[in-house]
Amino acid sequence: MNNFSQLLKKQNMTRDDLIYLLSLTDNGQLQQLYDAAYAVKADCVGRVVYYRGLIEFSNRCIKNCCYCGIRKDNHEVKRFNTKREDILSMAQWAYNNRYGSLTLQSGERQDADFATYIEQLVRDIKKMSHGELGITLCVGEQKEDTYRRWFEAGAHRYLLRIESSNPELYKQIHPQDGHHEWTVRKNCLESLRRIGYQVGTGDMIGLPGQTIEDLADDILFYRDMDIDMIGMGPYVVHHNTPIGKHVIAAGDDSLQCKSRRFTLGLNMIAVTRLFLRDVNIAATTALQALNPLGRELGLKAGANVLMPIVTLPEFRPQYLLYDNKPCVEDSPEQCRHCLEGRVASVGDTVGFEKWGDSPHFSKKKNNLFE
């Protein structure tokens, strides 16, 4: 057995090991990396892919992140709020189609009316589904009391991307207006853990100024923060954002550059799977934005979660965090059938009617009662 094969089986990788694996570009070694990560996935979380039916219910946002297509200052966007009855109808569709779990996602608001709205919405979905639909929230930074209210209403997972574990890089991709503080983001993740959520975070891969060392540190951050689920993907340009304009002007959005970011995205999935064996990892739509087979390749590199879009078709064109987002013109039915085919093509099965909790979280929960 050569040194590379031994490294892929190493139980306690160092930071230098992570950097080395993330830097791989040789096709043969990349395939070995992905195969090793898939084997760990099969062993630690199973060859089952769990759905999180994604309802993007509003694109109104108080934040102005420099990479995001629904940032406050993007006046090209037509803002929308989905009617409560329509959200419940989409949740009912997901329940009827045996999705075990939903993700409710929106632009960020922090006002009292929003907190109350989400709390009641979670209660309504729980009541409608007889408590059977799992609920993940992805609605940004909030006060701990707000997170607790939503948890007590029935939400049990929360996704809040750190974007970068490097505070200086974080500062570069957010405006310095008092509303985008790295320490606030980290404190929110700690609040979610204290309350009892399954905590999800993630990064963007291939940002301007980002290094391989930064990405290795992101993986170490996931470990140190005891993260249960990870949603990360390659950076994809939105043309009407400060970073997007910079990347385009610099000639860094060529097919070659996109391919490099895509490969780095797969590497991050695979290396994270090898390092954090029993967490949930999503194959994000951003992968498919850069490669038509992106989500399949993400599953083959170790991911075990997909987020089929359930958002009303009329609102999908207005919820574009980046350009060329896949599935914008598809109906929920088309998304379901498409993803079933993608899952089957890699030899996995769909975990219908299951929450698909992170084994990492479940082990911690069980240990509390030992």
Sort strands 305-306 and 233-234 into parallel, antiparallel or unpaired: unpaired
Distance between CA atoms of 24 and 21, rounded to whole angstroms? 5
Distance between CA atoms of 275 and 150, rounded to whole angstroms? 31
Judge if pTM exceeds 0.85.
yes
Residues of the chain with pLDDT under 70: 1, 365-370
pLDDT computed for residue 322 by the predictor = 95
The single-letter code of the amino acid at 39 is: A
In terms of DSSP H, where are the helices of 196-284?
Answer: 212-224, 242-249, 255-275
Element (H, E) at 162: none
The owner of tokens 């093509």 is 345
pLDDT computed for residue 366 by the predictor = 66
Contacts 24+ apart (CB under 8 A), 109-118: 109/60, 109/61, 109/62, 109/139, 109/140, 110/62, 110/140, 110/141, 110/142, 110/143, 114/139, 115/142, 115/146, 115/149, 115/150, 117/84, 118/150
pLDDT computed for residue 338 by the predictor = 86
pLDDT computed for residue 327 by the predictor = 83
User: What is the per-residue pLDDT across 249-298, written as a single tens digit (0 to 9) for each?
Assistant: 999 999 999 999 999 999 999 999 999 999 999 999 999 999 999 999 99
Distance between CA atoms of 25 and 143, rounded to whole angstroms? 43
User: What is the per-residue pLDDT across 176-214, written as a single tens digit (0 to 9) for each?
Assistant: 998 899 999 999 999 999 999 999 999 999 999 999 999
pLDDT computed for residue 367 by the predictor = 61
